[in-house]
Chain A
């Protein structure tokens, strides 16, 4: 097996939990190469972004050429090729959101954070970018912060949400906020999850 080393000369290791998760994942696929995408997610979750160590780790664990891992990591937009803030805001910019006010959200974020897209605030808390359709068109405009969708926003409600996130510093991964649904930061679950009216 080829030994992949990161630029400081060591084979990167991630936490035991990450190594276990990857092993378990690989066993689910007919071929281990298919686990490259989940492997990149595991690395990103642990390292914050897809840095040198991340691609070396994936290449090493899946016995893949480094060039192939880099090629995949750079093709997909959800693998961050540079550090993002603790809270990364993705503003949906595509048609339904645009005609319902997405531009106002972006303008507000820029004004509040005084950064451009893909920049990180000095305190490391925030970064943002505009992204293509997030599949939340019926609850436009909306943003995704880390894993969580926040919908039917106005610049004011987004502002209040950002205040609250700064104050409470929540973990915005769905796997951790699930029990928080209903009362938590993810908003009103019923309206968020199911936007069609209930007909008898």
Chain B
């Protein structure tokens, strides 16, 4: 299958990080075109393209923009969510490191459509190098007069600030990001009001993922109909998948939506490392349910098919596990992650994440009992749906899906623990 290269057409050119090279390859043409259009037309075009948020939620981008109220007298802000922290995800990093001007041009287009004069790229703190490359590109754009006052002679002013996070997963949640950017702990806000209405400093704010923004120049140059002719009806265009784990060729791949998952593993990923058997796949970062190898036949990489299979496209953090993987250990690893990253605001999440990790931990370490399984059920039931942000829903996903898909591994641990306890005279 031939995949269209919308986001990664030029990432293999070493000089693509330079403004001149970016422009020589057709860069900054889309924004010139867009600045001659009515902002509402731009939003309509993005709506028609079917582009959906690539950070994980998959919300239609144009629709999100449409929620921003006009003429409130307040400034409107655009925030580029580059807080890429979902385990298994490293796609936005590629864009920032290898084609940072594409990200800038995407921000320019969105800013024009929204009427935002101040944008911020919120980049996760650990991404020192991507942040450096993004800042360097922003500096070049200012130097050339492409950012600042009256960009491209349009009368439109635009400032972009590159801001680094400092190691908090929760800042990838859009209201957590806003809180963090305001100078606070990154603890999410209750919605509604949604950021489109009450966001940064109480002003209308749109938060878009880096990959989402980077798709805009192509869409605006080639038209919505070219974009939505690729992929499936509800999953248009291409998506970046960052593949990792027990595969021969880990890396970031841009594929047309609707691409068969097994083809992706066998072709792009190069098949299984050491030719071991495939055991399980996480398609979209650790917050989406794991799939067993026998569930993959017929599943395609798009929102509809993944959902039908009981999982999600998510962020595109594609983690492949082979037959040697201990699923109880893998589950514990992720529960530790969620326990560590809970922001501590809501009791069900703060306490629950800790307890889930503890229970899975004792099962893994041979101290579990069969009542622990129902205890996990009780605890997770009290977390999901009972927190301010979706972190609570996400943190129960590994334990629920790993146990559902691989019950024998959990039961085996519990049974062997029981045997050793019976053999122990203290019991």
Residues of A within 8 A of B (CB): 28-31, 33-38, 40-41, 62, 64, 68, 71-72, 75-79, 90, 93-96, 98-100, 131-140, 144, 147-149, 173-175, 178, 190, 193-199
Contacts and interface: CB of A to CB of B under 8 A. Distances in A.
Identify the 4 closest CB pairs spanning chains A and B, nearest first: A76-B166, A137-B244, A195-B251, A33-B183
A25 to B, nearest CB: 9
B251 A134 contact: no
A133 B85 contact: yes
A193 B97 contact: yes
Interface of B: 5, 8, 11-12, 14, 75, 84-90, 93-94, 97-98, 118, 124-129, 132, 159, 161, 163-169, 180-186, 200-201, 242-246, 249-254, 282, 286, 317, 319, 321, 325, 329-330, 333-334, 336-337, 340-341, 343
28 contacts: A34-B181, A36-B183, A75-B185, A76-B166, A76-B167, A77-B166, A78-B125, A78-B165, A93-B333, A94-B334, A95-B282, A99-B321, A100-B246, A132-B341, A135-B90, A135-B124, A135-B126, A136-B90, A137-B90, A138-B250, A140-B244, A140-B250, A144-B126, A147-B128, A148-B128, A178-B132, A195-B94, A196-B8
B255 to A, nearest CB: 11
Contact of A99 (B14, B97, B167, B246): B246
Contacts of B253: 196
B184 A72 contact: yes
Nearest to B169: A132
Given A28-B161, A95-B87, A194 B183 contact: no
B69 to A, nearest CB: 19
A31 to B, nearest CB: 6
Which of A28, A35, A62, A140 has the most CB atoms of chain B within a 10 A radius of its CB?
A28
A94 B182 contact: no
Contacts of B343: 75
A133 B337 contact: yes
Given A135-B85, A190-B14, 15 more contacts: A29-B161, A75-B343, A90-B126, A94-B286, A95-B286, A98-B333, A99-B325, A100-B244, A132-B85, A132-B341, A136-B90, A139-B250, A194-B98, A196-B8, A196-B94
A41 B169 CA distance: 18
Contact of B168 (A75, A137, A196): A75
A137 B88 contact: yes
Given A75-B185, A95-B87, A134 B126 contact: yes
A195 B250 contact: yes
B163 A37 contact: yes
Contacts of A198: 12
Nearest to B187: A75
Contacts of A38: 163-164
B376 to A, nearest CB: 19
Overall SS of chain B's interface: mixed
Contacts of B97: 193-194
A110 B2 CA distance: 47
A37 B183 contact: yes
A137 B201 contact: no
A138 B243 CA distance: 6
Which of A36, A99, A173, A194 has the most CB atoms of chain B within a 10 A radius of its CB?
A99
B162 to A, nearest CB: 9
Which of B8, B245, B334, B341 has the most CB atoms of chain A within a 10 A radius of its CB?
B245
A36 B325 CA distance: 42
B245 A100 contact: yes
B399 to A, nearest CB: 14
A93 to B, nearest CB: 7
A78 B334 contact: no
Contacts of A194: 11-12, 94, 97-98, 251-252
Given A75-B185, A75-B186, A96-B319, A135 B337 contact: no
Contact of A96 (B11, B85, B164, B245): B245
A196 B183 contact: no
A57 to B, nearest CB: 15
A94 B246 contact: no
Contacts of B165: 37, 76, 78
A62 B124 CA distance: 23
A95 B88 contact: yes
Nearest to A193: B97
A37 B75 CA distance: 23
A139 B201 CA distance: 39
Given A95-B333, A137-B244, A197-B249, A174 B118 contact: no
Contact of A95 (B94, B330, B340): B330
A116 to B, nearest CB: 17
Nearest to B75: A30
Contacts of A199: 5
B206 to A, nearest CB: 16
B389 to A, nearest CB: 15
